[in-house]
Amino acid sequence: MNLKRNLGIAMAVAGLAGTTLAADLRFDGYPDYDSQLEAILGGFPQHNVELLMNEHGGHHDKLKTNLATGSGAGDVVLVDRGFVGSFINSGGFVDLTDRFAPYKDDFAEYAVAQGQGADGRQYAVPVDLGPGVMYYRRDYMEDKGYDVDNVIDDWDSYLDYGRELKEDGILLIGDATAVATAYWNFNVEPGNGLFFDADGEPLVTGPRFQRAFELAKAVRDEGMDGQISEWTEEWYAGFREGRFATQLSGAWLLGHLQNWMAPETSGNWGVSNLPDGIYGTWGGSFLAIPKQSEHQQAAWDLVEYMISEDIQRAGFENIAAFPAHTETYDDPMFDESIEFLRGQQARLLFADIAENIEPVQPHEGDQIAESLMTTALEQVLNDGVDIDTALANAERQIRRRVR
């Protein structure tokens, strides 16, 4: 009897200990991370992980509501670079500075900085990167007798190439806005943020934005783009039919191109630095742990697992998520030549870019500023609004809205 009771107590205690050890976690994210997690969770038996996937926009909307109400968020959440600026200062994420400290130096410096709040603490940890690159049609360049290095020499040479292409009825790029976005994103003056300086003053009427708008306007006015918005059916068809000769984008576009957007154009493509040799980041994802999580330590175990070297490498293989862990760049798989890009060793280029990007401090007004600047750009390109007027208007509105 006594023995039986003791045994029961022992079993209860063991059961209790078991539950505290193996927690039920939920990972909230967007595709393709479901494919990645399904592939790697087999190697993570410590906790039970459930996935909650929503499409990109819906996922972030849900996360906003979860943070607002303090409930309903997963234990680990995936955050896109575009949202990380407005989320990390929210006070809704667990401070990961101490836990991340031992790994910090192994990760791309600029991405680590992007995950830090205004107080310098680490609230989000980079999990994949989007080195900014230019994809280009090799065959068009050969036809025109151009070498890629001459084309990307600076922005003027890039536009000159566009003028040449126009004679053959080929567009330089799908939409001119990408030229402006690339320019203002990747020529940030040292010490400044994207749209705001260190004191929070908007920079949008400055020379960087002037030049960005002028470049895009030249592309549009001279008929070098097709006003084909990204991620539309026309854009995909444009890649398949070779309507445009270049695309400025994140390295991750390669996965989309070869898997579903234009697999039949394999061998015609190449990849290079962005024009003017600038290093920049185009997208990328972060992991964070909401404070509302009841299993923060277990959640960190999952984050730690996902940023470990092997898993970072697996992510690259599974879903072409470019590793944020820079130690992985020595892996032989980075030397592999890529058939879609006519045998180019593109990953070496991506790694080189990732290691050279300068950190830019996010500002909580970035999202408002970006949205207002995109509208201003559309007004210049489509409605013939004067650049100075559009920028001055945008600046006024940014000042009003960023409080």
- Classified as helix, coil or strand, 22 is coil
| Three-state DSSP class for residue 322 | strand
Stretch that binds other proteins, among 9-17, 60-68, 194-202, 303-311 (CB under 8 A): 60-68
Which DSSP state fits 129?
Answer: E
Instruction: For residue 323, give Cα distances in angstroms to 41, 83, 134, 285, 302.
Output: 18, 19, 19, 10, 16
- Cβ atoms of 268 and 141 closer than 8 Å: no
What is the token pair recorded at 345?
């060793």
Element holding 224 (H helix, E strand): none
Q: Which residues contact 230 (CB under 8 A, 6 or more apart)?
A: 174, 175, 178
Q: Which is nearer to other proteins, 253 or 320 (CB)?
A: 253
When binding is defined by CB under 8 A, the residue of 6, 20, 46, 232 that contacts other proteins is 232
CB 154 within 8 A of CB 347: no
Shortest reach from residue 158's CB to other proteins, in Å = 25
Span near other proteins by CB under 8 A; candidates 113-121, 139-147, 182-190, 378-386:
378-386
Among 104, 163, 399, 401, binds other proteins (CB under 8 A): 401
> Out of 40, 47, 84, 92, which residue is the one contacting other proteins (CB under 8 A)?
92
Can residue 86 be called a binding residue for other proteins (CB under 8 A)?
yes
Instruction: Give CA separation, 241 vs 12, 174, 224, 260, 383, in Å.
Output: 66, 12, 16, 14, 29
Query: Which residues have a Cβ under 8 Å from the Cβ of 75 and sit 6 or more positions away?
Result: 23, 25, 26, 27, 289, 290, 293, 294, 295, 296, 298, 299, 302
Asked whether position 403 contacts other proteins by CB under 8 A, the answer is: yes
Among 26, 64, 121, 144, contact with other proteins (rule: CB under 8 A): 64
Q: Which stretch in 41-49, 296-304, 316-324, 394-402 sits in contact with other proteins by CB under 8 A?
A: 394-402
Which of 57, 200, 207, 267 is close enough to bind other proteins by CB under 8 A?
A: 57
Candidates 9, 21, 118, 237: give the one binding other proteins (CB under 8 A): 237
Distance of CA 66 to the CA centre of its chain: 22
Residue 118 binds other proteins (CB under 8 A): no
Residue 192 near other proteins by CB under 8 A:
no
Q: Which is nearer to other proteins, 86 or 122 (CB)?
A: 86
Which of 90, 361 has the CB closer to other proteins?
90
197 Cβ partners below 8 Å, 6+ apart? 191, 203
Chosen residue from 87, 107, 140, 239 binding other proteins by CB under 8 A = 87
Contact footprint for other proteins (CB under 8 A)? 57, 61, 63-65, 67-70, 86-87, 89-92, 227-229, 231-234, 237, 367-368, 371, 374-375, 378-379, 382-383, 393, 397, 400-401, 403
